[in-house]
């Protein structure tokens, strides 16, 4: 039977009862899709206990309207997690996770203030702060993150290593819809007429001969492009279609070369 924990005190008591078991952990902000399901399924295979968190973290949103619009589908999420064999779910509110407000926080290095770090001021500070809180609470053997948020995966991995956390950070491949669109909770905000257009982001990233060409082609198709760059062996992009901000990345070696 899946158990759902709403307070950190109740969860910490439960965590003590799980001592001696291998625990895998998937942190999420809810609005779950098959990409999340793939993380939970891998977590379930590789650990005795599969734990998932659902928490829409206010500190990582630099735009209050973006926080307000973020999809919240808790009951549907819980039903999916139970069907996947999840054992433990942490679903606290902001008062539980920030009992003293946003008083203490983890700041990324200046070198991390690129791409998402520039486009979304304060975003990674919020991400690192909540991830550190969750990793300390769950004390998992492994935590699973998708490669769609590739820069986030890198920074979280570095933080876990630098703070000597015992949790192994496991990166998992991006799942895509048949069109190639990377699965994302934000896809639910796309109107039907934009869904196929959104898939052009992936196709252009993989088929363009250079980041500059990819940016030009995306803009020609109506995307407002924030960046297309190659770093860390990946070609990464962020672009807005209508009111929905999309990010994606592909291995740079797989991108077309002129």
Residues with catalytic function = 36
Contact 234, 150 (CB under 8 A): yes
Element (H, E) at 197: helix 192-198
Distances (CA, A) of 67 to 55, 60, 72, 162: 12, 9, 10, 30
What is the Cα–Cα distance from 71 to 77, expressed in whole angstroms?
11
Comparing CA positions, the residue from 114, 144, 77 lying closest to residue 236 is 114
Residue 251 falls in which region: left (phi positive, over 0), alpha (psi -120 to 50) or beta = beta
């Amino acid at each position: 039977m899946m158990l759902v924990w709403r307070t950190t005190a109740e969860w910490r008591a439960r965590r003590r009862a799980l001592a001696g078991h291998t625990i895998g952990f998937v942190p999420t902000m809810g609005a779950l899709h098959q990409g999340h399901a793939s993380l939970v399924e891998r977590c379930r295979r590789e650990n005795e206990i599969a734990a998932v968190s659902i928490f829409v973290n206010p500190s990582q949103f630099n735009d209050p309207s973006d926080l307000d619009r973020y999809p919240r589908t808790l009951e549907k999420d819980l039903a999916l997690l139970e069907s996947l064999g999840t054992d433990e779910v942490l679903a606290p509110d902001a008062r539980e996770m920030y009992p003293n407000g946003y008083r203490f926080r983890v700041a990324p290095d200046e070198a991390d203030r690129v791409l998402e770090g520039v486009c979304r001021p304060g975003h990674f500070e919020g991400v690192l702060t909540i991830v550190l809180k969750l990793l300390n609470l769950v004390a998992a053997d492994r935590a699973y993150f998708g490669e769609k948020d590739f820069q986030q995966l890198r920074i979280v991995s570095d933080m876990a290593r630098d703070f000597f956390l015992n949790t192994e950070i496991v990166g998992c491949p991006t799942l895509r819809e048949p069109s190639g669109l990377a699965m994302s909770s934000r896809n639910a905000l796309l109107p039907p007429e934009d869904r196929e257009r959104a898939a052009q982001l992936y196709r252009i990233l993989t088929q363009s001969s250079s980041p500059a060409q990819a940016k030009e082609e995306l803009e020609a198709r109506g995307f407002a492009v924030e960046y297309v760059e190659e770093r860390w062996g990946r070609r990464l992009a962020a672009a807005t279609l209508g009111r929905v901000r999309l990010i994606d990345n592909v291995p740079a070696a797989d991108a077309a070369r002129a």
